[in-house]
Amino acid sequence: MDVVLGNGKVKVKISYTEKRQEIYQRFLAFITPYFLPESDSDDIDLFLNLEAETEFSDEYKALCVNEHVIRVSSAEAFNIKLMRGELPDGTHLAWHERDLTGYAFVQQSKTMTMYASNSSFIHLIEFFRYYMLLIEAGKGSLLLHASAVENVKSGNIIAICGVKGAGKTSTML
């Protein structure tokens, strides 16, 4: 299944299999209303393919021998440390054993294949968020790195700003 999502500045085309429909729906709920379905499929900034983690072969996993830290947080669930490798054709691979999540991409392309399990949600939102932020910044947007929470009784919002990894989300939680 294919869907194009956009926010008026950035567009992504997501292709997913029926096995990954649940994580796609969860992802869509997370990014709505910031990204909404679009009918126009011109000028796509990212082609994101969601495959089942079982499709990331043992051969690919065996190539992933170099440690690479993606995200460090004071909350363990948000830490992402991958093992990376490369195919002879230049395709970069990464595998995260704890969350059974794989990645395959070619640098300078607009395509990422994510091999997602039911534990891959943090990978999906982190990849999407940072990739889209980089594209948007490149298109002239000013970005604020923050986390926020609403007091349901008063309606007041508390926003916490800081650099990546400072503990904004952990503090909010």
Q: How far apart are CA 11 and CA 2, in angstroms?
A: 13
Q: How far apart are CA 161 and CA 57, in angstroms?
A: 40
Query: What's the mean pLDDT in 124-148?
Result: 83
Structure tokens at 21: 């429909």
Q: What pLDDT shows up at residue 87?
A: 96
- For the question of whether the overall pTM of this predicted structure is more than 0.75, the answer is yes
Structure tokens at 151: 């007091």
pLDDT band at 127 (very low <50, low <70, confident <90, very high): confident
Q: Examine the pLDDT at 75 and tell me if it is beyond 80.
A: no
Residue 25 identity (one-letter amino acid) = Q
Q: Examine the pLDDT at 145 and tell me if it is beyond 80.
A: no
For 13-45, write each residue's pLDDT tens digit. 999 988 899 999 999 999 888 899 998 888 999
| Dihedral pair phi/psi, residue 165, rounded to 5° | 85, 5
Rounded to the nearest integer, the mean pLDDT of the chain is: 89
Q: How far apart are CA 17 and CA 12, in angstroms?
A: 16
Q: Examine the pLDDT at 94 and tell me if it is beyond 80.
A: yes
Residue 29 identity (one-letter amino acid) = A
Q: How far apart are CA 84 and CA 68, in angstroms?
A: 7
| Dihedral pair phi/psi, residue 15, rounded to 5° | -115, 130
For residue 88, say if its preceding peptide bond is cis, omega within 30 degrees of 0.
Answer: no
Q: What pLDDT shows up at residue 88?
A: 95
